[in-house]
Chain A
């Protein structure tokens, strides 16, 4: 159950936190809390740091600073799988990993959820929020069924196409429906990062697809120790 935890892991963690401090200072982030509080306002500055930063790291995966730590952009108008309105502030007091994906995603999303299981092994209190980019198939009812097979710490939300697009824009998540002749139906192309929000509701880091769970867990351990 306890994964091997070589002490060498501490080095990347330290450098990672350092990196994020420096980059935060070096990046002229004009996304003020006021601006990001309006989910409709497109957060252009984030576009230059988020996925762009991950694109050149296909070989070596490491968390990317998302700019200055800033209040996590609001997620307005989303609904829980039981049909109730979703409230991001309910997560205050917990570290949260946010992922935008879709349940009919057979490869990339399950792999990422697999990483969450790895994080949970070391950080069982970590919360995970799955925001679908496929509201057509991921209805509240379907998500309710889907999450029955997942840990309680994973929460899945959906919403109207407009609400989901606004949420995605606020986190610089890109997605698009891709029609296909496949018997599996259409797919959703999407950025596949994990976003780390700390217990104070600050958006801190993004992790590109393939980041080892141990790295994410180590970052959360650092936050827990603060």
Chain B
């Protein structure tokens, strides 16, 4: 479980670095996110937080963001990570948002010949004690028929409907990548529970980093 979480962190970081993007402003916001990334890894790997209280069972959503979308004619895409801290599988089966008339769940994928396509899916599985990762090039939430443009730095509310768990409304930041906020940090710190201490976490992190770079 913690391994997949750390992998997500790494992939999240690389996404933000690669995608200094979106339609429009780049500079200031990206600097911030870069700084966040830079400070995140060491903090997460080295800081013994001592937050040993177990995370209550349930679904935990983090790193929600949606891409800037200046033209309402074009659909927006939202990304996030859902951690299932229960012993039962669940699934994301739908979503809604005040900023879009229609919200759908889609999945991009690449075939053996490099052709990328996108299809609507009925659900995204969230296996017990694992993460469902929505990220560019994979699962994402489509915000269709936007009521207004999605402007960088603003917030978008998205209500997530699950197969089993109760619906949750989360706030997605409009920007070019996931924002690692304090909530995300503290949640990730707590996963030290099953990893045997802070130093172990740090080592794991480095190992994963090397793998993903190679």
Q: Are A114 and B120 in contact (CB under 8 A)?
A: no
> When the two chains form their complex, are residues A174 and B113 in contact, meaning their CB atoms are under 8 A apart?
yes
Assembly CA distance A111 to B17 (angstroms): 11
Known contacts A117-B26, A182-B106; decide if A107 and B113 are in contact (CB<8 Å): no
Chain A 115-139 near chain B by CB (<8 Å), digits 1 or 0: 1111011000000000000000000
- Whether A149 pairs with B214 at a CB distance below 8 angstroms is no
Measured as residues with beta carbon below 8 angstroms from the partner, the interface class of chain B is 35 or more
Binds B, one of A31-39, A52-60, A77-85: A52-60
Residue pair A3, B19 in contact (C-beta under 8 Å): no
Chain B 23-38 against A: per-residue CB contact (8 Å), 1 yes, 0 no?
A: 1101100110010001
Q: Are A118 and B19 in contact (CB under 8 A)?
A: yes
Q: Is A193 an interface residue (CB 8 A)?
A: yes
- Where chain B touches its partner, the secondary structure class is mixed
Q: A1-B31, A55-B113, A107-B118 are in contact. Are A114 and B76 (CB under 8 A)?
A: no
Q: How far is the CB of B108 from chain A (nearest CB, A)?
A: 5
Would you list the 9 A-B pairs with minimal beta carbon distance, nearest first?
A114-B21, A114-B19, A51-B114, A189-B117, A111-B136, A183-B102, A118-B20, A117-B21, A106-B75
Stretch at the interface among A22-30, A91-99, A156-164, A207-215: A207-215
Residues of A within 8 A of B (CB): 1, 3-4, 50-52, 54-55, 58, 60, 103-108, 110-111, 113-118, 120-121, 145-146, 149-150, 174-176, 178, 180-184, 187, 189-193, 208-214
Are B144 and A184 in touch, CB under 8 angstroms? yes
Q: Which residues in B have their C-beta under 8 angstroms from that of A212?
A: 14, 17-18
Q: Are B114 and A111 in contact (CB under 8 A)?
A: no
Name the interface residues of B82-97: CB closer than 8 Å to any CB of A.
Answer: none
Complex Cα–Cα for A50 and B176 (A): 29
Asked if A192 and B19 sit within 8 Å, CB to CB, the answer is no
| Chain B residues, CB < 8 A from A178 | 117-119
* CB of B137 within 8 Å of the partner chain: yes
Q: Are A149 and B71 in contact (CB under 8 A)?
A: yes
Bound complex: CA A90 to CA B102 (Å): 42
For residue B110, CB closer than 8 A to chain A, the reply is: yes
A55 CB to nearest B CB, Å:
5
Q: Is the CB of B114 within 8 A of A104?
A: no
Q: Does B67 reach chain A (CB closer than 8 Å)?
A: yes
A149-B71, A213-B18, A214-B17 as given contacts; A121 in contact with B26, CB under 8 Å = yes
Do A115 and B74 have beta carbons less than 8 Å apart? no
Smallest Cβ-Cβ distance to A176: which chain B residue: B115
Contacts of A54 on B, CB cut-off 8 Å?
114
B15 to A, closest residue via Cβ: A111
Q: Which residues of B contact A181 (CB under 8 A)?
A: 120
B179 on the interface (CB 8 Å rule)? Answer: no
What 1/0 flags go to B93-127 for Cβ under 8 Å of A?
A: 00000000110101010101111111110000000
